[in-house]
Structure 1
Amino acid sequence: MISVFLVDDHELVRAGIRRILEDIRGIKVAGEAECGENAVKWCRSNPIDVVLMDMSMPGIGGLEAIRKILRFSPGVKVIMLTIHTENPLPAKVMKAGASGYLSKGAAPKEVISAIRAVHSGQRYIASDIAQKIALSHIEPPPSTPFCCLSDRELQIMLMITKGQKVNEISQQLHLSPKTINSYRYRLFNKLNISGDVALTHLAIKHGLFNTSTLSNSE
């Protein structure tokens, strides 16, 4: 029996995935969380085989949650299930230790196949996403301006586009507001923009963030 843990800040999404998986023989949903912090706490206290993780959530987000989960539970297999399919996010997620990467547009059969594949020790990346990762290694120019960001800058960028303020980010990442602002201004300089609104518009333009996500976060 493959035990699966669901992590997504939208209850409706978790309920939909749970309903799909409950009908599949050999797979059980062992629990769920609405943010990365709670996912990390749960995985440290409970045995689990596979984690289905969203990328953009309140708090530390999916990328940092992957690192923390695997630091304490290296045998857990994590599949990123997200709307974010554009570079550099897939490559960074896989580099962080994820075993799989799927779009939220994936068919239920593909999600089930991915769970079984990573549980057996394989990696599973949706074919269109795998192609983007492969092309990113052979095309000279970066596909988006976000390729120049460090992992921490990218993490803070995603938190800003979710509407989180400096003090909130500071508390969740256990860094001082001054440090968060330093990262913030550094990524602004790298992207040649002047503020949070411009950052959000740039993220939307390059497919890292969309208006449906914006409306859902309000």
Structure 2
Amino acid sequence: MFGSFVIVDDHPLYRSGISALVQERLGLRCSGEASTIAEARQLLAETNPKIAIIDISLQDENGLTLVEECKRLFPAVKVLVVSMHDENLYGERALKAGSHGYVMKHDAPEVLINAIRMILNGQLGITENLKDRLAQRFASGSNNNQVGSLSERELTILSLVGQGYGALEIASALSISVKTVNTHQDHIKQKLSLQSASELRKFAVTWYAGQTRV
């Protein structure tokens, strides 16, 4: 296989591991690494790779923003999102942003390699589980439109509420204040037409269970 790839991730050790794996297994050349969106923009413009492997959690930045920019500014570059976040929660969002595939960081190396092969062959590089979930949503006509209106931070908080976290625990986990958590929860309630904190908790638990059910 000929061509090059770039890696965008804020963990140098992880970048090195992925780079070595992809070069050894696929014969692609690593044309550069980046740890921030600004570095990634410059790298993509200078190297014009076949594929960009992007983590969507970049310190205080949202990697999905970079995915959207790639689609708009570098349409010839294929994008594979590699993330610690559950594909059932973020896979569809990544695809909507312009990614051609989604792999979780705890997946086996072969999953990553297969995803890259599929993407470079013009297919979506996603698991059978995510394919089935997307097919079910398409068939049922359900797109979770209300939840889709949430920002990334609001979606994260909804997920944590669904797992039973309280405001103090969420604040600690996200390194933000309880006041900020409460403000986000108010915004979530408005967007989802929920009237109270108890309604939010009930909705979040039900929604999270549905998203993570295999």
Same-fold status (TM-score > 0.5): yes
Q: Is the counterpart of residue 106 in structure 1 residue 107 in structure 2? A: yes
Q: For residue 43 of structure 1, report the CA deviation from its aligned partner.
A: 1.1
Aligned to 2:86: 85
> Does structure 2 retain, via aligned residues, the 8 Å contact 1:157–1:184?
no
Distance 1:131 1:18 in 2: 30
Q: For residue 77 of structure 1, report the CA deviation from its aligned partner.
A: 0.3
Greater RCO (Cα-Cα under 8 Å, separation 6 or more): 1
Aligned to 2:149: 150
Aligned to 1:67: 68
Aligned to 2:77: 76
Q: Sort the Cα spacing of 1:126 and 1:86 in 2 relative to 1 into closer, same or farther, 3 A.
A: closer
Q: For residue 164 of structure 1, report the CA deviation from its aligned partner.
A: 6.6
State the secondary structure of the residue aligned to 2:58: coil
Identity %: 25
The runs of at least 4 consecutive aligned structure 1 residues that moved more than 4 Å come to 138-143, 155-162, 182-185, 191-194
Number of residue pairs the alignment of both structures matches: 184
Aligned to 1:179: none
> Does structure 1 retain, via aligned residues, the 8 Å contact 2:146–2:191?
no
TM-score scaled to structure 1, two decimals?
Answer: 0.67
> Does structure 2 retain, via aligned residues, the 8 Å contact 1:103–1:126?
no
User: Residues 181-200 of structure 1: matches in 2 within 5 Å?
Assistant: 185-187=186-188, 189-190=190-191
Distance 2:143 2:55 in 1: 24
Q: Could you list the runs of 5+ residues in structure 2 that have no partner in the other structure? A: 158-169, 178-182, 210-214
Q: Is the counterpart of residue 18 in structure 1 residue 36 in structure 2? A: no
Distance 1:55 1:63 in 2: 6
Q: For residue 156 of structure 1, report the CA deviation from its aligned partner.
A: 6.3
Which protein is richer in helix relative to its size?
2
TM-score scaled to structure 2, two decimals?
Answer: 0.68
